[in-house]
Amino acid sequence: MTGPAYHDLPGASQDRTTQAQGRLAAPPVPLVGDGIPVPCADGAERPYLSLDAAASTAALGPVLARVEEFLPWYSSIHRGAGYKSQVATWDYENARSAALAFAGRSSGASRAGGDVAIICRNTTEALNHLAYRLRLAPGDVVVTTVAEHHANLLPWSRAATCRYVECGRDGTFGVTDVGAALDKRPAPRLLAITGASNITGWMPPLDGIIAAAHDRGVPVVVDAAQLAPHRPLPAEADFLAWSGHKMYAPFGAGVLVGPRAAFADGDPFLAGGGAVDLVDLDEVLWTAPPEREEAGSPNVIGAVALQASIDTLTGIGWNALISHERRIAHALRHGLASIPGVCLLGPGPDAGTLPVAAFTVDGVPHALVAARLAAEEAIGVRHGCFCAHPYLMRLLGHTRGDVHRYREQVRRGDRSAMPGAVRASAGINTTGDDIQRLLAAVARIASGNPPPVPYRQDPRTGDFRPCGDAAGLGRPDSHQAPCSPG
Ligand code: PLP
């Protein structure tokens, strides 16, 4: 790439954006590394199929291309005087504006003082950042729900008193359930709610919920970690948090969006260089947000990657993305629900969820299902409790007594009977054939036929691994595990 002339600096990034968009196609859109062959327990290699998008995604091609294009221009930003520093600063600030636009707001227009996008590591950091910045007192009430990921539970329960919206047996709740929690006294300071569950893919009726909170004068933070790659973000939410690595930009950047005024006073979450205007040994003059909230050297590459992902998804368009993912969700959830011995957790297969499905297989531990999918079929899924323990216990129908028993076992270092489920989650790259491959594999496991290779469980982790000759699977760090029957 030839560098832009000084007077052309503002155009440089836009030119590259256009190039990235020129490579767009309708979904399914392959991701970097799709189909790479991996070793299986029978000694064969099979193309790897990732169905773990809800945990993290590989990069979109245009994201990788944009990062490679930018790397020769990488330099220190903000206070660097050199030409490259100015290019890099321009691109970083452009990424910030793109994040704001992606969240449905501009830096000046939407509310008094406008909104800011704070570039951070991920959703977890963004929510912890916000919990610190809101200066909650232990007696303040935050309304949240039992369907949250721990990232949207623990920061609030540590800083304040949580009031939880319960869910039904199918893992859902409605606007009136949230309204009832908001109406209890003392009045809450905040509603913290997920945009979509990472276990069931269910999306709470956010528009009505946000309106109900605003009617009562309660601001809302939406954990958009799962929503961001799949649906437009709710522009009415006061605060939003999401992660680049779940939307095809795995370069370590996430975003916290909120009103500038919320960050205008008080100490920032992180104190250090870049967040200040002037420091004397006994006095600090913090600078204005968003820089006030971004102490330390920022993740410029992550921000550039995030913008490339935003540009690519925007270029593809929500209509194309949503209709593709609806087809995938339908095939996945109906397909699993129709396999004898498989139980789909959460709302029914027609509930209009994201392409995510958590399930159990009668008589086969969740850890063994996941291990067999990996070792026999080269399919990568996730199993366990998905960092949303309260929600999963409800979906599985476990009582408080059950949970107490499990806790005691874990305290003794034994995770062999940990409750859990298997989760398959898809994205922009998933094809109908991918889903059929998963369904056929799950049907083989659910059929009750013994596995073609023996497996051994490590009670410390609860994980299963094939043993004997199949144990290595080509992994450099693996050792041959002695095999015990069963
Ligand atoms: N919120 C939800 C709903 C999630 O699914 C996740 C991760 O799986 C998080 C928050 C935390 O995201 P991160 O690990 O990027 O901080």
pLDDT in tens, 46-57: 999 999 999 999
- Atom of ligand 1 minimally distant from the CA of 223: 1
Q: What is the pLDDT of residues 206-244, one digit of tens each?
A: 999 999 999 999 999 999 999 999 999 999 999 999 999
- Atom of ligand 1 minimally distant from the CA of 126: 16
Name the packing angle between helices 432-446 and 366-377 (round to 10°). Answer: 120
Cα dist from 281 to 11, 267, 278, 291, whole Å: 42, 16, 10, 21
464-466 and 37-39 strand pairing = unpaired
Mean residue pLDDT of the chain comes to 92
- Alpha-carbon dihedral sign for residues 128, 131, 134, 135: negative
Provide mean pLDDT across the span 441-462.
96
Model confidence at 169: pLDDT above 50? yes
* Element housing 285 (H / E): strand 283-286
Residue 9 pLDDT level (bands cut at 50, 70, 90): low
161-165 and 115-120 strand pairing = unpaired
Instruction: State which of 226, 354, 385 you would mutate to test the pocket of ligand 1, scoring each by most atoms of that ligand within 8 A of its C-beta.
Output: 226
Model confidence at 354: pLDDT above 90? yes
Model confidence at 484: pLDDT above 70? no
Residues ≥6 apart with Cβ < 8 Å to 280:
none
Model confidence at 91: pLDDT above 50? yes
Look up residue 347 and give its two tokens: 């709302």
Task: Give me ligand 1 centre to Cα 124, in Å.
Answer: 6
Question: Rounded distance, CA 447 to CA 192, Å?
Answer: 42
Task: Give me ligand 1 centre to Cα 201, in Å.
Answer: 13
Instruction: State which of 197, 356, 387 you would mutate to test the pocket of ligand 1, scoring each by most atoms of that ligand within 8 A of its C-beta.
Output: 387
- Atom of ligand 1 minimally distant from the CA of 148: 3
Look up residue 441 and give its two tokens: 């594999």
Active-site positions read 387
Question: Rounded distance, CA 128 to CA 136, Å?
Answer: 12
Instruction: State which of 119, 122, 149 you would mutate to test the pocket of ligand 1, scoring each by most atoms of that ligand within 8 A of its C-beta.
Output: 149
Cα dist from 339 to 95, 96, 271, 330, 333, whole Å: 45, 45, 54, 14, 10
Residues of the chain with CATH 3.40.640.10: 106-315
Provide mean pLDDT across the span 248-275.
97
Task: Give me ligand 1 centre to Cα 78, in Å.
Answer: 29
pLDDT at 25: 76
Nearest CA to ligand 1 atom 5: 198
Residues of the chain with CATH 3.90.1150.10: 317-471
Model confidence at 463: pLDDT above 80? yes
Task: Give me ligand 1 centre to Cα 149, in Å.
Answer: 7
Provide mean pLDDT across the span 429-453.
97
Q: Which residues of 78-95 are buried (b: 16+ CB within 10 A; e: fewer)?
A: eeeeeeebbbbbbbbebb
Map residue 69 onto helix, strand or coil: helix
Nearest CA to ligand 1 atom 6: 225
Ligand 1: residues with CB < 6 A are: 55, 122-124, 149, 151-152, 194, 198, 223, 225-226, 243, 245
CATH of domain 106-315: 3.40.640.10
Model confidence at 199: pLDDT above 60? yes
Look up residue 105 and give its two tokens: 């707001």
Question: Rounded distance, CA 352 to CA 359, Å?
Answer: 17
Model confidence at 119: pLDDT above 90? yes
Note the Cα 134 to chain centre separation in Å: 23
Task: Give me ligand 1 centre to Cα 389, in Å.
Answer: 13
Closest CA to 276 of 292, 264, 262: 292
pLDDT at 107: 55
Provide mean pLDDT across the span 418-427.
97
CATH of domain 317-471: 3.90.1150.10
